[in-house]
Structure 1
Amino acid sequence: MRKILMCSSEVSPFAKTGGLGDVVGALPQALSKLGHDVRVILPKYGCIPEEYRQQMEFQFFIYVPLGWRRKYCGVFELKKDGVTYYFIDNEYYFGDPYLYKWNDLERFAFFDKACLEILRHLDFKPDILHCHDWQTGMIPVLLNAYFVRDSFYQGIKTVFTIHNLRYQGIYSMDIVADFFSLDQSFFTEDKLEFHGCANLLKGGIVYSDYVTTVSPTYAEEIKTPLGGEKLDGLLFARSQSLFGIINGIDYNEYNPKTDSHIYENYDLRNLFSKKKLNKIKLQEHLGLPIDGEKAMIGIVSRLVDQKGFDIIAEAMGELMSMDIQLVVLGTGEARYEEMFRQNAWYHPEKLSANIMFSNDLAHKIYAAADLFLMPSMFEPCGLSQMIAMAYGTVPVVRETGGLKDSVQPFNEFTGEGNGFSFYPYSAHDMMFTLRMALNFFADKNIWNPLMKRAMKTDFSWESSAKQYSAMYDSLLG
């Protein structure tokens, strides 16, 4: 049994904005089921649902040094599904409902220091500190800089997981030096310095014992100039201690057999008939023409360049000329929101543009759509394509990161594959692949087995947790 302490700025179901919260919500529970003692530290945000706040028990408080400041830090505890959660309480930094704000450097500098300071007051010394994304990137730095001088902290190993390399936490060196009480020796090219600034994510990469990211292909991509976001040289140098482990999804939440959000529950036995009913009822709900045989393409995403919306924009005219229905859910860049609104106004029979966030509607789209379009420019892992397949919805993706690792292209000669994919980042290649998928959709002798193969693909956290467990064993010898 390993003692693992995870530190993260967001954890589902308490507080999340995206995939980071989903991962740190599910992985600890999967590791706990393997017999590890797993605990998680996160901020006590004002947005945490009241049902969980009422379950928290106050443990103690300390004062955390932050440069020349001394800040109150309360610690609350909650146990759920075999995992112990510690909540860092400070009303000034975390009392309002926002996870990320204008003063994130100061907020997460306090959080990083608090994660280490409270350890000596807990009845728990971890074997491994597992930190996630730039918000906790300075924890390994601080552990090496100061805390390792205390015998209590000696022997603690560190793992740092990159969920998206594009977001790095880049700030002025002077301000970072102030909040973290670091001298100028830490701000050199081989440590925190990054083009004249300080890079917190780089700190996590440099000072951690092991570095992981959320899919094997993404682990290779970030070692190249194309995918490395100017850190490819450092990541290539750390190749021997860099691991790619693909994320899983929570089948308790994403299960068409039990999902309370969808119109008709189903499984492999009644997949075709019940999925068609979900489509018809969603068409009725969204005001689309009711036609159970019409191909419905779903998109559930942030509307940003990273997700491929520049090539979708290039292909919109062609998409609207096809005999399909396109259902879009998400928010993002104004130009893409307006593009979908305008096309929905011109083509109300073909496009439903839902420019908002709705977990309920997302589930309904996953259950109703025939195809799921996800042509990302880059995708560290991606969960949407896995969720779509859990509902028997066939993905059409670009071969990058976790999309390449999770979607096996359909081979009409062998009958293998669970989706469709293309590599060149272009509207032409996306549309060629989409048209090919629609041709196969018309042949139910091909399409029905393909839906079943997609639905049978296992993306449970158990497999991923075993890989993390093996990595921990390797690190601890």
Structure 2
Amino acid sequence: MNSLFAASECAPFIKTGGLGDVIGALPKALVKKGVSVSVILPKYKDLSEKYGHEFTFVRSFEVPVGRRRQYCGLFKLESEGVTYYLLDNEQYFKRHGSYGFYDDGERFAFFSRAVLEALPFLDERPDVIHCHDWQTGPISALLKAHYSNHPFYQGIKTLFTIHNLKYQGVYPKSVLYELLDLSELYFTEDGLEFYGNVSYMKAGLAFSDKLTTVSPSYAEEIQTPYYGEKLDGFLRKRGHDLAGIINGIDVDEYNPGTDLFLAERFKTIEGKALNKTALQRELGLPEHSDRPIMSMVTRLVEQKGMDLVLRVIHEILQEQVQFVILGTGEEAYEQAFKALAREYPEKFVFCCYFDEGLARRIYAGSDLFLMPSKFEPCGIGQLFALRYGTLPIVRETGGLKDTVISYNEFTNEGNGFTFANYNAHDMLYTIERALWFYHFQPSKWMELADRALHLDFSWDQSAAHYIELYYELLNQSAQAWSMS
């Protein structure tokens, strides 16, 4: 079984969010289960400057982009059983940053076509192309339109994974002809058409053989109008081909027993205390061992529940708690948190940047991790928090609902604290409940934290589910071949 992951980012080479973590970890888990996996990425300038010297040049070829033909260089690296490929074109990728450019429609039209043009030059022909998010959505449509009659490409199946339905890659209708070289036949409600424009996300949803998203709850949610981003009807139509598979984390990379970023590595919950003191010292907070640290490591955007936090932040800070936020985002949120840091210098710290080492020290040194998302396809922060023995407070949505079970003091079940409604005072009540257990049930708190520390959120089970889907696809292909 050969699987090719097509994606726009992959840790550690290039990462802007959870997608990069998934593409960095899932292929390794699949390799351990006997699948041959390759990953193909754009050769961004930022990636090239840091890791480019590790890749070797394979060859160059031309890629059709509408009526033009563009240069593409193919580079290769083998690491930990996975083969990584880079697709190079300086016009499109020699710039700092990955997304957010005026010509992203053209950049990822090129990338999608280049992935298909590169296939004959890879070490192994893929049985399945596993596409991730809107940047690779056109691959499935292009495979059907331009390559279905080519013997080399026949029988290659496609799987498309939605990491966040909100980001869809929507562009004017002209990209259909000028960049993708597709006819009007593809501009329909069952094709790429999206309210008069072209949607790269919808291209993946319409033409891939199977669809997945990153948690079972999110798979159900996106088939409803509230979460469906105007694609809920289309997703209901393809519901029989849609599965939700929860993300894991790289438990070797994120291991409190071996993590070199930590002040003190630990394997039992008692070891967190030294990390808490070290974090307070690093951030300039009073070193109160009896005062819980609540933290957020997040993008400062509406999706992440920033409005809820700001609505009741003063009430939160009246509690015996220290609050730490690490992240950047919308300026209004940044300015609000900077003002709070000035107002509550001994209780509130805002780090308006991102630093991987500090993020891990926050996971390890905190007692509570707040994640009140408006929607959350899977969420990875709560998994990191649990991995480091920190109890999450989350809203019951998407992957948060699937991974954090609210503590029930009567049955002694659960691994965190949850609330259902997107409501600031429901969140505040849940925070107060968690703080009550911290202050007045210390032995129970230690038991819960120790339970979190030993939970298994590795990729093993998720990888097994993906392999099942791959075999379903190949069996369908074999049955179709035998019937023909």
TM-score range, shorter chain: over 0.9
CA–CA distance in structure 1, aligned partners of residues 84 and 48 of structure 2: 15
Cα drift, residue 72 of structure 1: 0.5
Q: Secondary structure at the match of 2:256?
A: coil
Alignment of 1:44-123 (within 5 A): 44-48=43-47, 50=49, 52-100=51-99, 101-123=101-123
* 2:46 alignment partner, SS class: coil
Q: Deviations over 1:392-427 (max 9, x none)?
A: 000000000000111011010111111010100000
Cα contact 2:9–2:16 (8 A) shared by 1:
yes
**Identity of counterpart residues, as a percentage?**
52
- How far did 1:148 drift? 0.6
Contact 1:277 1:292 in 2 (8 A): no
Q: Does 1:237 align with 2:237?
A: yes
Correspondence 1:294 to 2:307 = no
Superposed, 1:15-30 pairs within 5 Å as 15-30=14-29
The equivalent of 1:476 in structure 2 is 474
Residue 184 (str. 1) matches residue 184 (str. 2):
yes
Matched, 1:462 2:460: yes
Supply the distance in 2 between the matched residues of 1:120 and 1:108 (Cα, whole angstroms).
Answer: 20
Which deviations, in whole Å up to 9, do the C-alpha atoms of 1:196-227 show, x marking residues without a partner? 11111001001000000000100000011111
Contact 2:176-2:183 within 8 A present in 1 as well: no
Matches within 5 A, 1:64-463: 64-100=63-99, 101-268=101-268, 271-272=269-270, 274-442=271-439, 443-463=441-461
State the distance in 1 between where 2:50 and 2:202 align: 37
RMSD: 1.1
3-state secondary structure, aligned to 1:180? coil
Provide the C-alpha distance between the structure 1 equivalents of 2:156 and 2:347, rounded to a whole number of angstroms: 57
Q: Is the 8 A contact 1:223 1:235 kept in 2?
A: yes
Residue identity opposite 1:56 in structure 2 = F
Shift of 1:262: 1.2
Q: CA deviation at 1:36?
A: 0.9
Q: Which deviates more, 380-389 or 44-53?
A: 44-53
Deviation per CA, 1:97-128: give whole Å up to 9, x if none.
32112211111111111100111233422111
Give CA deviations for 1:405-452 in whole Å, capped at 9, x if unaligned: 110110101111110101000001001111001101111121011001
Gaps of 5+ in 1: none
In the alignment, is the contact (CA less than 8 A) between 1:126 and 1:156 conserved in 2?
yes
Q: State the Cα distance separating 1:308 from its structure 2 match.
A: 0.4
Counterpart code for 1:332: G
C-alpha distance after superposition, 1:373-399 (max 9, x if no partner): 000000000100000001100000000
Question: Structure 1 CA distance, aligned partners of 2:355 and 2:48?
Answer: 17
Give the secondary structure class of the aligned counterpart of 2:152: helix
Q: Identify which range, 174-183 or 394-403, moves more after superposition.
A: 174-183
Which segment is superposed worse, 172-181 or 362-371? 172-181
* CA deviation map 1:290-334 (0-9, x unaligned): 111101101100011000011111111211211110011010111
Residues of 1 paired with 2:34 and 2:453: CA distance? 29
Q: Residues 130-161 of structure 1, C-alpha deviation per residue, up to 9 Å, x if partnerless? A: 10000000000001111111111111111000
SS for the counterpart of 1:41 is strand
Distance 1:430 1:146 in 2: 51
Whether the 8 Å CA contact 1:28–1:83 is kept in 2: the answer is yes
Amino acid at match of 1:98: G
Aligned residue type for 1:433: T
Q: Deviations over 1:318-355 (max 9, x none)?
A: 11211110011010111111111111111111101111
**2:480 alignment counterpart:** none
* Partner Cα separation in structure 1 for residue 461 and residue 121 of structure 2: 34
Q: Secondary structure at the match of 1:240?
A: helix
Aligned residue for 2:30? 31
Q: In structure 1, the residue corresponding to 2:179 is in which secondary structure?
A: helix
CA contact 1:417–1:453 (8 Å) conserved in 2: no
How many residue pairs get matched? 473
For residues 331 and 138 of structure 1, the distance between their equivalents in structure 2, rounded to whole angstroms, comes to: 31
451-460 or 117-126, larger mean C-alpha shift: 117-126
The DSSP-based 3-state class of the residue aligned with 1:198 is: strand
Distance 2:462 2:246 in 1: 6
User: In the TM superposition, what is the alpha-carbon distance from 1:177 to its structure 2 partner?
Assistant: 2.2
On the 8 A contact 2:175/2:198 being kept in 1, the answer is no
Distance 1:15 1:345 in 2: 34
| Deviations, residues 348-374 of structure 1 (Å, cap 9, x unaligned) | 111011111111111111011100000
Query: Residues of 1 paired with 2:30 and 2:102: CA distance?
Result: 34
Q: Distance in 2 between matches of 1:85 and 1:286?
A: 38
Deviation at 1:182, TM superposition (A): 1.0
